[in-house]
């Protein structure tokens, strides 16, 4: 495995609609493993292939949902959930929308307030090319929507109601 270089705005690949993945070969498996390693190293909670300069419909997501619930501090830690989504499509969205603060590994030094669906259903392929259907909510749903936007050349700053440079003492937001 190897770390990949994360690209930043205004790199054009970030604005392109990524191409569907058609070959589930060894090269793809290496790319997926490299992206997982790169996401963990960043550290980030998600990474889309265009962010490592590859215009393909692929993203990795890893987020510890326990972080949502501070009252569970005494519970034994659950393993983080890791998702690999390929050619994803949002097939259902909740009517309920929620505001949250986002940042992006490809737009360092900016945060923004973004409205997202509270829960979504996604149709995708897993790393072996098998179809999967996923239902996610809360922060996980936010990360999924952020990553799927990346695959369409859309960035959180396009959707944000306001964008700012965080002060040094401001809480850090998870990046993806």
CB 58 within 8 A of CB 20: no
Closest CA to 34 of 13, 67, 56: 56
Interface with Ni ion, residue 114, by CB under 5 A: no
Q: What is the dihedral of CA 81, 155, 12, 38, to 10 degrees?
A: -20
Q: Is 147 a catalytic residue?
A: yes
Q: Does 120 bind Ni ion (CB under 5 A)?
A: no
Say which of 147, 168, 170, 172 is annotated catalytic: 147
Number of residues engaging Ni ion in binding (CB under 5 A)? 2
Question: Closest approach of Cβ 61 to Ni ion, in Å?
Answer: 11
- Cβ-proximal residue to Ni ion, closest one: 104
Q: In whole angstroms, what separates CA 44 from the centre of its chain? A: 8
Q: How far is the CB of 150 from Ni ion (least distance, A)?
A: 6
Q: Which of residues 68-107 bind Ni ion (CB under 5 A)?
A: 104
| Backbone angles phi and psi of 61, in degrees to 5 | -140, 135
Catalytic annotation, residues: 147
> Footprint of Ni ion on this chain (CB under 5 A)?
104, 176
């Amino acid at each position: 495995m190897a770390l990949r270089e994360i690209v930043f705005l205004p790199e054009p690949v970030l604005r392109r609609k990524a191409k569907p993945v058609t070959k589930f070969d060894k090269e793809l498996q290496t790319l997926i493993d490299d992206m997982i390693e790169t996401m963990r190293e960043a550290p980030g909670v998600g990474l889309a292939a265009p962010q490592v300069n590859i215009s393909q419909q692929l993203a990795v997501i890893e987020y510890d949902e326990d972080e949502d619930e501070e009252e569970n501090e005494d519970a034994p830690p659950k393993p983080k959930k890791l998702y690999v989504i390929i050619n994803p499509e949002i097939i259902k969205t909740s009517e309920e929308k929620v505001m949250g603060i986002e940042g992006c590994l490809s737009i360092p030094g900016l945060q923004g307030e973004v409205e997202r669906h509270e829960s979504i259903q996604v149709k995708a392929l897993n790393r072996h090319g098998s179809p999967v259907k996923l239902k996610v909510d809360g922060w996980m749903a936010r990360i999924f929507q952020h990553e799927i936007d990346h695959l369409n050349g859309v960035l959180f700053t396009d959707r944000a109601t306001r964008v700012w440079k965080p002060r040094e003492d401001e809480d850090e937001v998870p990046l993806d």
